[in-house]
Amino acid sequence: MRRFIAVLVAAFIVASCTGSSPSPSSSAPSGAAGSSSPSGGGGGGWDPTSISGPAVLSGWQSSPAEGNALTQTLLGFQSTYPNIKVDYEPLAGDYPTVMATKFASGDVPDLFYVDASYAGTWIDQGYLAPLDDYIQKSGFDTSQFFPGYASIFKGADGKWYGFPKDGNTIAMAYNTDIVKDPPKTMDDLITLAQSLKGTNGLKAPLCLNPGLDRGLAFLFAQGGSLLSDDGKTETIDSDASKTAVQWYMDLFKNGLGMTASDMGDGWCGDSLGKKNAAIIFEGGWLDPSMVSTYPDVKYAWNVMPTGSSGSPVTISYTVSYSIGAQSKNKDEAFVLLSYLTGKEGMTKWTEGGVALPSRSDVPTPQGKDVLVSESSYAKPGSGFMPGYNDVQKAFQDAFTAQIQNKTFDAGPVVSATATAVTKALSQ
C-alpha cells in the first residue's frame, strides 16, 4: 500500500508539472502568445456587421453610475450590431490580481479595462493582443485620440495594444464661497493661499498630495521634468527640477498646503467637501462624489494655474479597452472595441458623466468644459515609462519623510527619485 501511494504521488507531481508549466524552450518573442491576426475578415475586406458571436466584456465598476452609463452604451452597440452578443461581467475585488489569475488560467475576457499604470507591463509581458492588423483592415481612425492618452497604449514595437476608453485631466477645483477669483498663475495661487491661511475655518488653503500623482503637474508647471525628451535619461536631478520640487515642498512648509490625511480626510475631495481646504487638484471623478456626499458645497473648476514654465500644462489619467492575447473571440471583441472607443459609443458613454472623452471629435459632456479643455496639452500622469510605480514610491517616501521630519529639503527627494528613475530605465 505504501508503495502504491508513493507511485500515486509521484505520478501526480509529474502530471502537475508537465500539465501546467511549458518547457523553457517554448519561450517566444514578446506578444507572440496567441494568434492575433484577424480570421473573420476574409480576403482583406472587413464587414463588422457580418461578424456574429459572443464577446465577454470585463472591467472594474467604481460606482452604480458607471454601470448605468456602460449599460446604456452597450444597448446602443446591441442595436447597431445585433449579431454580437455582449456578456458584460464586471470583476469584483482587486482588479490586477483577478486578471493575473485569468491570464494564468487562460480564461481571459475578450475585451477588458487596462489601467495606464500597468498597461506597459502587460504589453511587455505579452498579455495583450496587438491591434494593428485590425486597424488596417477596418480603417479605424486612431488620429482623433488625444496624444496624451493614446501614447500609453502603444508598445515598444510601435503597435497599438488598446484604445483609451476615456480619460481625466487634473484641474483646480475651488470652493466658490471662499474663492471669488480663481488664480490663473502659480504666483496668484500663492498670493491667494497666503490671504486665505487661517480664515474661514480652513485647516489649510490647499489640499495637496505628497506624491507625483499630483506633484508631477506642479513639477511640469514650474519648469521641472522627470525624463529627457527622448525618455532615456532622468532630469529630476537638474537644477530646474530641484527648484520646482522645492517650490512644491514650500507650500507644505509655509502652511499653505496640507495632505488630506493630516486634515483627517480620506482624500482631497473630502477636504473640499468638509471645508477643511478651499482649493484642491483633482479630476472629473470629484463631481459624482461631491453631488452624492456634499451636495451643499458650492465649487467650480478652473484649469491648472500656469507656472514659471510659461505654458499651460497638467497631467492626465486614462484606461484602455484591450483585447487579451488569449481572448477567444477577437473579431467580435474588435467590433465592440471600435464601437466603444469610436465617436458614437464614446459620446453615449461620456454622456453618463463618469469620465471625459479621449477623442477630440466627441462633444464635451455637460459641466466638463474645463477638464476637457486641458486634454489637448495634458501629459500622461502614469504609464509613460517602465517601472513608474517604483519612481512614484521613491518620490513619495522621501517627500513624506521631509515634511514629517519638518526638514523640507528637496535635495534627498530629488536624488532618491533620480536613482529610482535610472534603475527603472535600466530594466
Partner 1 sequence: MTVADPAGHSSRRSMRFSEALAGYGFVAVPMVLFLLLNVFAFFYAIYISVWKWNLIRGPVSFLGLQNYADVLSDPTFQKAVENSIYYTVIWVPLTMAVGLLLAVVVNQKIRGQTFFRAAFYFPAIASSAAITMLWIFMAAPDGLFNAVREGLGLAPLFSLFGFGPNQNWLGDYHTALDSIILLNVWTTSGTFMLLYLASLQSISHEVYEAAAVDGAGPWQAFWHITFPLLRPGHYYVATVAVIGALQVFDQAILAGGPNGDPNNALMFIVLYLYKTAFTDFNFSKAAAVGLVLFVIVFAATLLQRRVFGGEPAW
Q: Which residues bind partner 1 (CB under 8 A)?
A: 1, 5, 9, 12-13, 16-17, 20-24, 26-28, 33-34, 94, 96-97, 100, 103-104, 106, 118, 121-122, 125-127, 259, 261-264, 325-326, 387, 389-390, 393, 396-398, 400-401, 404
Least distance from partner 1 to the Cβ atom of residue 391, Å: 12
Least distance from partner 1 to the Cβ atom of residue 249, Å: 15
Query: Between residues 125 and 151, which has the closer beta carbon with respect to partner 1?
Result: 125
Query: Between residues 347 and 389, which has the closer beta carbon with respect to partner 1?
Result: 389
**Hey, how many other C-beta atoms are within 10 angstroms of the C-beta on 302?**
16
**Hey, how many other C-beta atoms are within 10 angstroms of the C-beta on 19?**
7
Least distance from partner 1 to the Cβ atom of residue 328, Å: 14
Q: How is residue 424 written as a grid cell?
A: 527603472
Query: Between residues 15 and 75, which has the closer beta carbon with respect to partner 1?
Result: 15
Query: Between residues 317 and 339, which has the closer beta carbon with respect to partner 1?
Result: 317
Collapsing DSSP to helix, strand or coil, 128 comes out as strand
CA–CA distance, 407 with 67 (Å, rounded to integer):
46
Query: Between residues 16 and 311, which has the closer beta carbon with respect to partner 1?
Result: 16
Least distance from partner 1 to the Cβ atom of residue 408, Å: 15
Rg (CA), the chain: 24
Least distance from partner 1 to the Cβ atom of residue 48, Å: 28
Least distance from partner 1 to the Cβ atom of residue 21, Å: 5
Residue 342 burial class via C-beta count within 10 angstroms: exposed 0-12, middle 13-18, buried 19 and up? middle
Query: Between residues 7 and 100, which has the closer beta carbon with respect to partner 1?
Result: 100
Within 13 A of 352's CA, how many CA atoms are on the CB side?
21
CA–CA distance, 126 with 145 (Å, rounded to integer):
24
Least distance from partner 1 to the Cβ atom of residue 397, Å: 5
CA–CA distance, 396 with 367 (Å, rounded to integer):
32
Looking at the DSSP bridge assignments, the partners of residue 172 are 281, 302
CA–CA distance, 377 with 169 (Å, rounded to integer):
10
Query: Between residues 203 and 359, which has the closer beta carbon with respect to partner 1?
Result: 203
Q: How far is CA 81 from CA 47, 210, 339, in A?
A: 11, 47, 10
Q: Are strands 163-169 and 111-115 parallel, antiparallel or unpaired?
A: unpaired
